[in-house]
Structure 1
């Protein structure tokens, strides 16, 4: 019997699963994936295909050759905790946020009312990636950034015609090296790729202009998540239920109730000036350590020197 070889990608890198055959069971694959990633079997979230979609591997006694997975496939493995009962809910403790009871399947969403709220994530140049990780998993996990940066670099490098120098603002290869660096900021290009990769609409509440920019809107995805952008920093949004139950971060796109609430949130944020004036904040060139006052100064410095890595100075 021929060996069944699978490539596995996680936020920490990629590996190969060997030692299986097509006759082996899905349960055996899950066991190997759990050993490889350190993720408990009950929390395994496995995606496959192109674009990647969640695989239903709930029937563990099915042979791999009948599961829809074939030798040579690439599996993306994430950790996604199952829903827990409200009484098991954990709370936020200062700035050290621990996982809360988190609804991860829109089919389990109750109709109980709630309030859209912002979860603060670290301002460490990876806030966009940490925010996307939060709406997917219900917890602040800064380690997910490197995984998402690799996904973006792979997507860009494999499609040089779509992601040309004119679109990226730099050569394709140079961009791919740049986005992998921990001090490189994410923006519209990265949001569009992550929307495609995870197969959901990412609605960004812009508190500067009091508008919502929806990435993936034209793809008619079934699910939507929300982020807030204040000019330089991204934070995730979640629905806090009035009954004290589980928080919600993923919503059906067929329901525009949260879009209306998010629009009101954007207007309130703008009226109360909850945004960053990008012409007044200080940036540091991470190449030559020059301090720059405002976005225009940073743009001119990049034009004059070719330096493209900047970090915000608190």
Structure 2
């Protein structure tokens, strides 16, 4: 199998046997990056692989589907649940971050996330869209609420009528419950090694409305609803197809900005705001043009609106002591050392 990674010197990939263990992957990554010791993070929010997982297979942990983040050991925070600082607004060089909130399992918490940060840029009001001449229609961005359930809401809006009555919508809370029930019903598949914590604890957290969903939840929703979920990354325009290869007939498309998910929809009436008439699912075999235009729309979001947050690249300043740092890990370290929680991203261009 081929494993992709991002490291301080740039992106890369390693080839490794399908049955390889995490320990073998670590050795391959050390050889590829030239680092003597590494911290490997996966998932979102990023969590570090624990030495207790080293004898598990990559297949068991689902790492064959991941793009890993590699950092020199000791140069990376062990905290893995923090969110990134907000991105700058279009009208000024900086935008003030919301003060961090108090959660039980993280030190840098709940800074203002993507949709709220973008609110000052008027993304929602600008009705970001691209035309699709193949079908005489328009692909539009549907902004999801900034409530820590954006992934569930984005996908839920594309599931109408699946496994249910034709007019049935799936709320974020319902999808959380469906995911949790599936995990608890399959303890051998979803062990503590896979989830990163005991299943009961993981599920209890996932039912809370302020817990972010990620790869595990997307994979479960894809499986249970028999739908491919194509996730387009705003910064890179890369496409991650959850459920690819399972012969699902339909797909939906969501947009990921590194801290926030939004949904894409097709409309046939210009300026349509009523989402009940959105087309949110397409046949896998006949929707390559939708993916192509989704990438086009993401390039507009990236280049014209800076609608993404890079958790490793952003430059920040502490509003209290005027310290300047780069990336999520430096923010975590500064907050832990000083207790200062008013952090602003500095626009560099």
TM-score, normalising length: structure 1: 0.51
SS in 2 for 1:194: helix
Equivalent runs, 1:267-282 vs 2, <5 Å: 267-272=299-304, 273-279=306-312, 280=314
1:196 matched to 2:228: no
CA drift of 1:117 comes to: 1.2
Q: 1:266 corresponds to which residue?
A: 298
1:154 matched to 2:187: no
Q: Distance in 2 between matches of 1:243 and 1:237?
A: 15
Q: 1:226 corresponds to which residue?
A: 253
Q: 2:289 corresponds to which residue?
A: 257
CA drift of 1:259 comes to: 1.6
In 2, are the aligned partners of 1:126 and 1:182 still within 8 Å (CA)?
Answer: yes
Residue of structure 2 aligned with 1:183, choices 198, 204, 210: 210
SS in 2 for 1:231: coil
In 1, are the aligned partners of 2:140 and 2:264 still within 8 Å (CA)?
Answer: yes
In 2, are the aligned partners of 1:113 and 1:242 still within 8 Å (CA)?
Answer: no
SS in 2 for 1:218: coil
SS in 1 for 2:158: helix
Relative contact order (C-alpha < 8 Å, sep 6+): which is higher? 2
Q: 1:17 corresponds to which residue?
A: none
**What per-residue deviation string (whole Å, max 9, x for no partner) do you get for residues 162-186 of structure 1?**
2222322212221111111111001
CA drift of 1:281 comes to: 9.7
CA drift of 1:217 comes to: 0.9
CA drift of 1:298 comes to: 8.3
In 2, are the aligned partners of 1:224 and 1:250 still within 8 Å (CA)?
Answer: yes
**What per-residue deviation string (whole Å, max 9, x for no partner) do you get for residues 128-184 of structure 1?**
11111222349xx99811111111111112222222223222122211111111110
Structure 1 runs of 4+ aligned residues shifted over 4 Å read 242-246, 279-282, 297-301
Q: Distance in 2 between matches of 1:298 and 1:170?
A: 25
Q: 1:124 corresponds to which residue?
A: 147
Q: Distance in 2 between matches of 1:294 and 1:125?
A: 21
SS in 2 for 1:213: strand
Q: Distance in 2 between matches of 1:298 and 1:172?
A: 30
Q: Distance in 1 between matches of 2:257 and 2:328?
A: 14
In 1, are the aligned partners of 2:156 and 2:170 still within 8 Å (CA)?
Answer: no
1:296 matched to 2:323: no
Unaligned runs of 5+ in 2: 1-122, 126-133, 162-167, 317-325, 337-343, 345-349
Equivalent runs, 1:82-161 vs 2, <5 Å: 112-137=135-160, 144-161=171-188
TM-score, normalising length: structure 2: 0.46
Q: 2:195 corresponds to which residue?
A: 168
SS in 1 for 2:285: coil
SS in 2 for 1:270: helix
Flag the 1:155–1:275 CA change in 2: closer, same or farther, 3 A.
same
CA drift of 1:95 comes to: 7.8
Q: Distance in 1 between matches of 2:211 and 2:197?
A: 14
